[in-house]
Amino acid sequence: MGSSIDLIFKIAGVGILVAVLNAILKHAGKEEQGHIVTLAGLAIVFMWVIQLLATLFEQVKSVFRLF
Amino acid sequence: MLKLMGAAMVVAASGLGGLAVAANYSRRPRELKALRSALQMLETEVVYSATPLPEALARVAGKCDRLVEPLFSRAAAEFAASTGITAADAWEKALVHYYPGTALKPQDLSILRSLGSSLGRSDREDQVKHLHLAMEQLKTATAGAEEEAARNIKLWSYLGFLGGLITVLVIY
């Protein structure tokens, strides 16, 4: 349980930092780089979340004995 | 504890890197302005006091901003070091020495190079024309550099720290 709360905080941190970076890049007239940063943040968060989803599916499989 | 120290070090390193890039952006307009005023002094030396070029360069080196002082003192030293060296050669050697330590871009270097090839070669009026041309070009470059600096200084000083924070967050 503790590790998944940590993950939520990490995701929130990435979200905040990406939002700030995006605002700064937009202010400096570099919208394209801002989009790239947003996409990179999304990819990082997906990497974390997909690992959790994989364990969820594993658990579902083991609970219902779908081997 | 060790992890926290490492995180602090990552943030500090990338933050300082960003600040260094920002400092480079703020340095270029100042250097261009200093170069322009130094060329103005050189023009005064050439036109009003008709000083020989090696001496004029040494005098400008003594008076100008310390950002561009190495260029002029080096050029004067090149003159003193070898007899029979042309002004263009001395200027070129000084530029090669001076350029790597500055925030100047290759296009600024080419302005100074083309000035050097006409330095000390013809009569006063012609030299003044070339000096004026170089000064005008430096002025245009300064305007561009200032605009670039205004956009990039803030960006880079934030970007370094935020990049460090994201790195820490991802590998924590």
Among A18, A28, A41, beta carbon nearest to B155: A28
The tokens of B69 are what?
Answer: 């002082």
In tens, the pLDDT along B122-156 reads 777 888 888 889 899 999 999 999 988 888 888 88
Q: Which residues of B touch A28 (CB under 8 A)?
A: 151-152, 154-155
Among B161, B166, B167, pick the best mutation site for testing chain A contact (most A Cβ within 10 A). Answer: B166
Determine the pLDDT at residue A1. Answer: 55
- Where along chain A do its domains lie? 2-63
Long-range contacts of B29-34 (CB under 8 A, 24+ apart): B29/B142, B29/B145, B29/B146, B29/B149, B30/B67, B31/B67, B31/B68, B31/B102, B31/B103, B31/B104, B32/B104, B32/B108, B32/B138, B32/B141, B32/B142, B32/B145, B33/B142, B34/B64, B34/B65, B34/B67, B34/B68
Q: Flag whether the ipTM exceeds 0.90.
A: no
Note if the pTM is more than 0.90: no
Chain A contact present for B167, CB below 8 A: no
